Structure 1
Amino acid sequence: MFKWCVLLRGINVGGNNIIPMKALVSMFEAMGCEQVKTYIQSGNVVLHHIQNDAAELTRLIQQKIAESFHCSPQILLLSVEQFSQALDNNPFVDAELKTVHWFFLAQQPTQVDFGTLENIKKPSESFQLLDSVFYLHAPEGIGRSKLVTKVEKCLAVPTTARNGNTVTKLMAMLE
């Protein structure tokens, strides 16, 4: 069995793409997943599955979610090794975890508009793109950050973001 972290984007937000976690766990178990655990209501799942091909498992999950919940959220599937590396690569290790945000990229960007990101960031904010993760340190919170609304456009790839507290909790669940 292979360990996976499944990140669903945009579920249970504003009354859209409603997926009850208990029903999601049941769906994964019906797919043959084991040790399925969710964390908060925003689409964080860790599980074990016999499939070791991320693309194939992602396709299967997309199909089952569409059939079961009649929605198609973006799904990002990370192996325990990939997730651990994303945590280890955090360039803001001295910052308070809740102020650091991991934007997991669906794919490697080919062109990044760093100029726009630099121009709109607050003086207190810092960011770094490492591998397939865009790290944002926003000590004043992401609710006031202009970067948050522009990250995906400037990277030109789909992303899904999690704060440091969520990332460390998910890593603990994977271990």
Structure 2
Amino acid sequence: MRWLIFLRAVNVGGTGKLAMAPLRDALAGAGAGNVQSYIQSGNLALDLDETSAAAVEDWLGGQIEALAGFRPGAVALEAPLLKAARAALPFAGTAPRMTHMGLFRGATAGDALDRLAGYCTQGEELALGDHCLYLHTPNGIGRSKLSGRIEPAMGLPVTLRNLNTVEKMLSLA
């Protein structure tokens, strides 16, 4: 099965340092096929004979821990699931680098959108989809008041990727 995996807090701000080339080699050596990575922030595509996203995340965490000494969070999604989530993007015509998908697995807090909506400013938009929170931040995610409030409001781990990254990952599917 083809998996698209998004690591959390890897190679960001000097924490979670993880070189992608040795990781690709380690994953291939551990049985993954057609291992590819995109940029250094922890975006992986690979084939693995596993049907459970939780099992893929656990397997990957163990491989990274053996290689680098830490276990980052991860969101593993089957390629068709990410493709469907991307196709359902509710914001037409937005700049890809200013439009993000907050990827997660599991059930969100029931009032998550209401809690986050109060922090939207300057034309920001958000919507909830299957396995993702859609965000449009016209002035950038770094300037948004939403940044840092997403996970507490959602009640589960979330990792953000802009549409450029999502599109590139889909091309690796």
Do these two structures clear the TM 0.5 threshold for a shared fold by scoring above it? yes
Partner of 1:94: 93
Assess if the C-alpha contact under 8 Å between 2:109 and 2:153 holds in 1.
no
CA–CA separation in structure 2 for the residues paired with 1:59 and 1:85: 24
Partner of 1:16: 15
Deviation of 1:152 after TM superposition, in Å, equals: 1.1
Deviation of 1:130 after TM superposition, in Å, equals: 1.2
Amino acid at match of 2:30: M
Assess if the C-alpha contact under 8 Å between 1:112 and 1:156 holds in 2.
no
Deviation of 1:69 after TM superposition, in Å, equals: 0.8
Q: Scaled by the length of structure 1, what TM-score is found? A: 0.93
Matched residue count: 173
Deviation of 1:160 after TM superposition, in Å, equals: 0.3
- The yes-or-no answer on 1:145 pairing with 2:144 is yes
Assess if the C-alpha contact under 8 Å between 2:113 and 2:127 holds in 1.
no
Name the Cα RMSD after superposition: 1.3
CA–CA separation in structure 1 for the residues paired with 2:52 and 2:105: 15
Amino acid at match of 1:41: Q
Give the share of equivalent positions with the same residue, in percent. Answer: 29
- The yes-or-no answer on 1:167 pairing with 2:172 is no
Deviation of 1:170 after TM superposition, in Å, equals: 0.5
- The yes-or-no answer on 1:81 pairing with 2:91 is no
Higher-helix-fraction structure: 1
The runs of 5 or more residues in structure 2 that have no matched partner are none
Is the partner of 1:35 in helix, strand or coil?
Answer: strand
After TM superposition, the runs of 4+ consecutive aligned structure 1 residues lying more than 6 A away are none
CA–CA separation in structure 1 for the residues paired with 2:42 and 2:159: 10
CA–CA separation in structure 1 for the residues paired with 2:153 and 2:36: 33
| 1:34-45 equivalent positions in 2, closer than 5 A | 34-45=33-44
Q: Scaled by the length of structure 2, what TM-score is found? A: 0.94
CA–CA separation in structure 2 for the residues paired with 1:57 and 1:140: 35
